[in-house]
C-alpha cells in the first residue's frame, strides 16, 4: 500500500526500514530514514541483495562465505 502524500504542508516520509514517520527537514539527517541505524540496515539489505546469487537461499552462510573471500583477496 502506497499512500505518499507529498503535497502536505508539513512534509514527512515513512522510514523505509521501520515505517516511522520522518519529517522531511534538514534536521532529519538520515531522511528518508528515521535514524542512522535504519539507514545502515537498509544499506546492508541493499548490499546483501547485490551479492545474492540466484538459487542460493542460505543468506547467512553466503554472507560469511563472501566475507571470507574478501579477506583472502
Question: Among 4, 29, 32, 34, which residue interacts with Zn ion (rule: CB under 5 A)?
Answer: 34
The grid coordinates listed for 47 are: 548490499
The residues, any chain, with a CB within 8 Å of residue 33's CB and separated by 6 or more, are 15, 16, 17, 22, 39, 42
Q: Which is nearer to Zn ion, 14 or 66 (CB)?
A: 14
Q: Which is nearer to Zn ion, 40 or 67 (CB)?
A: 40
In the chain, what is the straight-line distance between the N-terminal and C-terminal CA atoms, in Å? 43
Hey, is 21 helix, strand or coil? Answer: strand
Question: Among 14, 18, 30, 32, which residue interacts with Zn ion (rule: CB under 5 A)?
Answer: 18
Least distance in angstroms from the C-beta of 39 to Zn ion? 8
Interacting residue ranges for Zn ion, rule: CB under 5 A:
15, 17-18, 20, 34, 38
Amino acid at each position: 500500500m502506497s499512500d505518499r502524500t507529498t503535497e502536505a504542508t508539513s512534509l514527512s516520509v515513512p522510514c523505509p526500514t521501520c515505517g516511522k514517520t520522518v519529517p522531511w527537514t534538514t534536521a532529519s539527517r538520515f531522511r528518508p530514514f528515521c535514524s542512522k541505524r535504519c539507514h545502515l540496515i537498509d544499506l546492508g539489505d541493499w548490499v546483501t541483495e547485490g551479492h545474492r546469487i540466484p538459487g542460493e537461499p542460505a543468506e547467512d552462510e553466503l554472507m560469511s562465505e563472501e566475507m571470507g573471500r574478501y579477506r583472502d583477496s
